[in-house]
Amino acid sequence: MASTPAERLYVVYEAYSQAYARRAQDWKDAKTKAQADTIFKNVESLEALYLKAAKQALDTNAQAVENAFEAAKAAQKEVNDAYEEAKGIADKIKLVGSVVSKVGDLINKAGGK
Amino acid sequence: MSNALKRTIGATIMASLFLSACASVPHGPALSLANAGVATTSTFSTNVRTTASQVQYVDVTEAFVATYDYCANPALPCSPQLQSGAMVKLRQDLANVILLRAKAIDALGKAYGALKTEAEYDARGDLVSATNSAIEGVNNFAAAALAIGGAAPAAALIGEPLKQITGFGVGLLADRNQRRRLLAGSEAIAAATKQLRDALAVEAFVYDSLADYIEKSRTAAKIRMLDAGLVSNTDALMPMAANLGLKPVSGVDAVIAKSPQTKIALTAMLQAQSRADVQLDKDKYQASIAALDALLRAHDELKKNQSVSLADVDRFLGELNASLDAGKKE
């Protein structure tokens, strides 16, 4: 069954919301300024994607959209697992960066771009 | 059936039609309906404008939260962590979409106001132009909601844009029968109310996530300000203490400063309060839609020449106003 615009927005919002909730601890764990700046950039990118998604229809129905939807959910699960397993900050940053890219892809495809 | 009976039935129908045309002007019911419409739109508009301004205010809370958290790591060079100008613009754009709602609701409020004037003073209010403005506002908002909600379900719910009533308005103004003017005005306003209600329902899921977005940002700022000792913990404790019928002792800040467990408990309480506030925001939105539904039922009752029941509108407005008052006390 195809995902709905509401489910797609939920995935986008959760990606931002969780990254935002974890950011304070991530900054405490950051070893370098470059890491800290990437943490800032990742959360800001996810917030920007959410704000864009809240303004537009995520209503395109196509297999490519479903694939992007599943890919975004899988990427978020990898992030959640990394935090559960208390992986190193470098790994976490990389995985959140992957969510940014997957969520961006979902919005582009579901928004008909 | 005999010809005599047919004539009798025909005469009865004619008499009914005549009586219907001469029925008394429904001043009271129309006035009650108009008053309820003015109150509903006014409360709803306040709620929506608050949301729009809170979305924009995230710029401010986020600057404080991000800088405070970034600088907590002594290994990092502490400096203000401001978001990009593009983020500010994104929030402004979203706030503008939210404000479209408020404009549509305000225009509808003016149409109810005109209906009230007409019903109250036996005077011709600016019913046509006010209703046309309401229709224009609702059409703009419905188009924006259509873009948000997803074409298929939204198109089915919202349907075609409403038509302006200018042409019909000429006849309406020329009609010396106030009963017909009131009923025609009520019908046009009901169409705009229905369109607005459907558009609001379509984008409810966007509003739900927005409520969460705003509350999390505001709560994060509260927790950091309390942690930094910049504001008094007494204010943060007040809602829970009042709910339990208690009064915080004097010197709360000193007590909390000495007790890490109390500090953590306070943070947990604020996070739980935030969750409750998100639910309250969602409930407010649903109560607003329910109030519009109740108004639509009252329009229908007026059309059918029944007494207008506004108890539901009052109840939903009561819920909304209580929520708004609770929000002000925070």
pLDDT in tens, A7-65: 999 999 999 999 999 999 999 999 999 999 999 999 999 999 999 998 877 888 899 99
B121 at A interface, C-beta within 8 A: no
Q: Is the ipTM of this complex over 0.85?
A: yes
pLDDT of B47 > 80? The answer is yes
pLDDT in tens, B236-294: 999 999 999 999 999 999 999 899 999 999 999 999 999 998 898 888 888 889 999 99
Confidence of residue B104 (pLDDT cuts 50, 70, 90): confident
pLDDT in tens, B187-215: 888 888 888 888 888 888 888 999 999 99
pTM of the model: 0.81
Burial class (CB in 10 A: 0-12, 13-18, 19+), B250: exposed
Q: What is the pLDDT of residue B11?
A: 38
B66 at A interface, C-beta within 8 A: yes
A21 at B interface, C-beta within 8 A: yes
Q: Please give, rounded to a whole number of angstroms, the shortest distance from the CA of A81 to a CA of chain B.
A: 23
Q: Please give, rounded to a whole number of angstroms, the shortest distance from the CA of B172 to a CA of chain A.
A: 39
Every domain of chain B and the residues it spans: 25-329
Q: Which residues 264-303 of chain B have a CB within 8 Å of chain A?
A: none
B216 at A interface, C-beta within 8 A: yes
Q: Which residue of B has its CA nearest to A56?
A: B148
